[in-house]
A and B are shown apart, each in its own frame.
Chain A
Amino acid sequence: EPEVTQTPSHQVTQMGQEVILRCVPISNHLYFYWYRQILGQKVEFLVSFYNNEISEKSEIFDDQFSVERPDGSNFTLKIRSTKLEDSAMYFCASSPGTASDTQYFGPGTRLTVL
């Protein structure tokens, strides 16, 4: 069964450093998403991406964040200058983008900012 994959599974970085989290969505899906879950809190929407542009973003997704689909398979989330409060699980998701709107999630990347 096709699945969303994410790398790395765990990323440790120093405050102020840039990080790039990588995702490979399900191959025939058209919509891509990033969510995050701070420990003990809800899964929160960050951004959706379609046709090589951001279609929606939350207030969390400020100028420190960016997304890119650099080739036909990868979807990345970049945090330019990490803060302690960026420590969280980051989940990538994808959906077909048609009548079937279900989003399928990857296993997540645990980001730890020291």
Chain B
Amino acid sequence: DQQVKQNSPSLSVQEGRISILNCDYTNSMFDYFLWYKKYPAEGPTFLISISSIKDKNEDGRFTVFLNKSAKHLSLHIVPSQPGDSAVYFCAASARRGTYKYIFGTGTRLKVLA
């Protein structure tokens, strides 16, 4: 089941620079997308979401961009901080008739001080 894909297993960024994490999806029924951050031995922590009626959503240092025609979303973190080092999961949901989230495999972000 490859409906949600994160093709970069890892990413290293210098502190203060921009981190860009990417996610692709195949199911055109998805209408809600989320990013979660996960530290080792903890559960996924909700970061930011976007509905398919929008193409951008911002929350502080975090911005999610959605390109529906390309079935692509990205998470921008500006400026990156060492505390942002974690695994980031993209998730998607087709909210009509289902509440389940489909997760990507995750991207491990390392922010270098």
Query: Is this pair of chains taken from one and the same complex?
Result: yes
Q: Does residue A113 face the partner (Cβ distance < 8 Å to B)? A: no
Chain B interface extent, by class: 20 to 34
Closest beta carbon of chain B to A81's beta carbon, Å: 25
Q: Would you list which residues of chain A between 78 and 94 have a CB under 8 Å from chain B?
A: 91
Among candidates A6, A58, A105, residue contacting B44 with C-beta atoms closer than 8 Å: A105
Q: Is the CB of A105 within 8 A of B32?
A: no
Residues of A within 8 Å of B34, CB to CB, are: 102
Q: Does residue B19 face the partner (Cβ distance < 8 Å to A)? A: no
Q: Is the CB of B101 within 8 A of A103?
A: yes
Q: Fill in one digit per residue for A23-37: 1 if any B CB lies within 8 Å of its CB, else 0.
A: 000000001010100
Q: Fill in one digit per residue for A18-62: 1 if any B CB lies within 8 Å of its CB, else 0.
A: 000000000000010101000001111100100000011010000
Q: Roughly how many angstroms separate A31 CA and B89 CA in the complex, as a whole number?
A: 21
Q: Is the CB of B100 within 8 A of A56?
A: yes
Q: Is the CB of A42 within 8 A of B104?
A: yes
Q: Does residue A65 face the partner (Cβ distance < 8 Å to B)? A: no
Chain A interface extent, by class: 20 to 34
Q: Roughly how many angstroms separate A53 CA and B105 CA in the complex, as a whole number?
A: 30
Q: Is the CB of B103 within 8 A of A55?
A: no
Q: Is the CB of A42 within 8 A of B36?
A: no
Q: Does residue B71 face the partner (Cβ distance < 8 Å to A)? A: no
Selected interface stretch from B58-66, B72-80, B91-99:
B91-99
Contact residues of A: prevailing secondary structure: strand
Closest beta carbon of chain B to A45's beta carbon, Å: 4
Q: Is the CB of B49 within 8 A of A42?
A: no
Q: Is the CB of A104 within 8 A of B100?
A: no
Q: Is the CB of B99 within 8 A of A102?
A: no
Q: Would you list which residues of chain B between 46 and 92 have a CB under 8 Å from chain A?
A: 46, 49, 89, 91
Q: Is the CB of B95 within 8 A of A101?
A: yes
Closest beta carbon of chain A to B64's beta carbon, Å: 13
Q: Would you list which residues of chain B between 3 and 56 have a CB under 8 Å from chain A?
A: 32, 34, 36, 41-46, 49
Interface residue ranges, B against A (CB under 8 Å)? 32, 34, 36, 41-46, 49, 89, 91, 93, 95, 98-106
Leading 4 A-B pairs by shortest Cβ distance: A105-B43, A45-B100, A43-B103, A107-B43
